[in-house]
Structure 1
Amino acid sequence: MKNIKFLIIMFCLVGALFGCQEDDYQVGEIIAPSNIQITSQIIGADASNPNGDGSGMVDFIATADNAISYQYLINGERMAAPEGKQSFVFAELGLNTYTVTAIAFGIGGISSTKSINIDVVSNFEDQEAKDLLSGGVGLNKTWYWAADKIGNIGLGPNETQPGGEHTYSQWFTSTAWHADKLCMYDAEFVFTQPTEGDLLYEQTVGSAYTPGDFAASIGVDGDTCHGEDVAPSLFGVKSVTMIPSSSNATVAGGYRGTTMSISDNGFMSWYVGVSKLEIIKVTATTLFVRMTDSAIPGNAWYCKYQTEKPVQ
């Protein structure tokens, strides 16, 4: 009986203790961002060339009152810009008018937007790369993972490193037929050039491989293959635009200087949420590209493809 009374007393004391505590959770006053300003700098613009130097490159800065982060919506592509800064390459040839929208986010996720129009000229073209990828005007060419080659997948730092380590796969270089990537090696990719300069792309066979960190960011299993349920843009014909590369690695690594921009969020089996593949080297039979990771922009991935179907 004494033990029971003791337990009852302790229970009451504990209940009284926690009953005296008050919840003190505050998120602060939710105020929508206001006074959004967007400034733009067209690269190479001057009195003689008010719409730029033909590279199509533009730097944007967005500011707003009560904003804690930003995004941009440009040409249907939504891009995170935590500090309001973003660079973009407008690749449509000639002088064109584009609408750029900045989205400012405040406490609690409330947002406000502002749009501007900008006139940009682009003269960049890489017809040789289009011909190498497709076989030429009126032709098409099928590409495969270079699964039988060392380094068909690589990983390195994206930021500039003092010894040039940001220009190659310093952190990881795959073996041929890398054991945990076998599920992706049956992929097939077709480039077609129906008319001069009009390059189309389609992944016709295979899956989307999601490396661990990116997979975690979208809530799926990592280091394995997925289908359209995870990567809706896996299949379907997409257009390819060649734009000038702007990364530090291009300058320091002696890359080609051309980046493939695939429409409709297209990608070549390696799924990290980006559709811009920086060409390191392309020949009639080999393609070596580099891309960042949208989940961890400090990561740079390297992928190798070839026109010879690999046999294990």
Structure 2
Amino acid sequence: MIGMASIIACQPDDFDNGNGLATVPSNLEITAIPVGQNTDNPYGDGSGTVNFTATASDVITYKYIYNGQEIMAPAGKATLVFSTSGVNSYDVTVEAYGAGGVSTSKTITVEVLSIYVAPDDLLEMLHGDGEKTWRIKAESNGHFGVGPANETTPVWWAASPNDKAGVGAYDDRITFKSDGTLTYVTNGDIYGQAAPLDADYGISWETNSDGEYANYPVDDFTDTWTLSAPDGQETLTFNGKGFHGFYVGGNHSYTILSRSENEMTLRTVGSDGNGWFCILTSEE
């Protein structure tokens, strides 16, 4: 199984310390703890979820790399989900960046147990008999929202119906397929936060007063998806750059807060550490 991570490209100019001098980070250390690990469960609780922490001296930011995918972690923390059944070993590399864009790296091997089997009704909801197409439920209150990462509702802000018309979100379509792949139709542009879009795509664009990019130029793309249940909570993860209609970076894992046959409410933790919410519907 593939570890879940967002794809982010870092440029040396992002790590300027103001004096033009390059500083190589030192003393890079990495810890990896499977969720639910204890004496009786040395490989975790079977969710396949692992929490990583990296520390180093003279560091500005970190990057986790697994299976060709990358996740930026300014605080050194990242969560990856591995879903190959049974106990398996995975190599994860961390790059620590210092001033001037110079870096050092280290690889850690983690062993983790994955025993999760998604229930039939969840799979039926997500892709039906073969594939199913989803969109942002723009006509609903709270179709976008933000709050603390551990909240189950967007307590800080919730979008009113059609609040974000014209920014490149409402015409997006996500088609989940039973073979674990998906297609994301952007119709030429998307909507999201400037910082993670800069990091992942690097296209210069005009920022609005909220630090967002509207109508950001991104072509249709394909991705893969997996389901897991860390701590018993159903979670949908995009293995690449897939997202929920508003791009916020992070690890692209979405907690399924509620679901019905044709609707699901999701929350992800963005690269800013906040909880970002959305409502998707498969009804046109």
Which interval holds the TM-score relative to the shorter structure?
A: 0.7 to 0.9
- Alpha-carbon contact 1:203-1:268 (below 8 Å) kept: no
Choose from 153, 159, 171 the match for 1:186.
Answer: 171
Structure 2 vs 1, CA of residues 220 and 49 (structure 1 numbering), >3 Å: closer, same or farther? same
- Alpha-carbon contact 1:130-1:199 (below 8 Å) kept: no
For residues 301 and 187 of structure 1, the distance between their equivalents in structure 2, rounded to whole angstroms, comes to 17
Q: What secondary structure, in the 3-state scheme, does the structure 2 residue paired with 1:167 have?
A: coil
Distance apart, 1:122 and its partner CA: 0.8
Structure 2 vs 1, CA of residues 131 and 65 (structure 1 numbering), >3 Å: closer, same or farther? same
Cα deviation, 1:175-201, whole Å, max 9, x if unaligned, reads: 2122545642222221221xxxx3322
Q: Which runs of 5+ in 1 are unaligned?
A: 1-24, 161-165, 229-233, 247-255
Q: Count how many residue pairs are aligned between Structure 1 and Structure 2.
A: 257
Q: Which TM-score applies when normalising by structure 2?
A: 0.77
Alignment of 1:237-256 (within 5 A): 237-245=222-230
For residues 261 and 38 of structure 1, the distance between their equivalents in structure 2, rounded to whole angstroms, comes to 24
Structure 2 vs 1, CA of residues 150 and 97 (structure 1 numbering), >3 Å: closer, same or farther? same
- Alpha-carbon contact 2:25-2:59 (below 8 Å) kept: yes
Distance apart, 1:32 and its partner CA: 2.3
State the Cα RMSD in Å. 2.9
Q: Which TM-score applies when normalising by structure 1?
A: 0.71
For residues 68 and 213 of structure 1, the distance between their equivalents in structure 2, rounded to whole angstroms, comes to 16
Aligned AA (1:78): E
Higher helix residue share:
1
- Alpha-carbon contact 1:41-1:58 (below 8 Å) kept: yes
- Alpha-carbon contact 1:245-1:278 (below 8 Å) kept: no
Alignment pair present for 1:202 and 2:183: yes
Q: Which runs of 5+ in 2 are unaligned?
A: 1-16, 207-211
Q: What secondary structure, in the 3-state scheme, does the structure 1 residue paired with 2:171 have?
A: coil
Choose from 242, 247, 258 the match for 1:266.
Answer: 242
Aligned AA (1:33): P
**Which protein is bigger by CA-based radius of gyration?**
1
Choose from 78, 90, 103 the match for 2:95.
Answer: 103
Choose from 261, 267, 285 the match for 2:262.
Answer: 285
Alignment of 1:1-312 (within 5 A): 27=19, 30-46=22-38, 49-127=41-119, 128-136=121-129, 139-158=130-149, 160=150, 166-178=151-163, 180-181=165-166, 183-193=168-178, 198-204=179-185, 206=187, 207-211=189-193, 219-221=204-206, 222-228=212-218, 235-245=220-230, 257-274=233-250, 275-294=252-271, 296-297=272-273, 299-309=274-284
Cα deviation, 1:195-242, whole Å, max 9, x if unaligned, reads: xxx3322123533112466567765233522232xxxxx533322111
For residues 28 and 177 of structure 1, the distance between their equivalents in structure 2, rounded to whole angstroms, comes to 47
Higher relative contact order (CA 8 A, sep 6+): 2
For residues 134 and 26 of structure 1, the distance between their equivalents in structure 2, rounded to whole angstroms, comes to 50
Structure 2 vs 1, CA of residues 125 and 181 (structure 1 numbering), >3 Å: closer, same or farther? farther
For residues 197 and 28 of structure 2, the distance between their equivalents in structure 1, rounded to whole angstroms, comes to 33
- Alpha-carbon contact 1:70-1:81 (below 8 Å) kept: yes
For residues 34 and 183 of structure 1, the distance between their equivalents in structure 2, rounded to whole angstroms, comes to 43
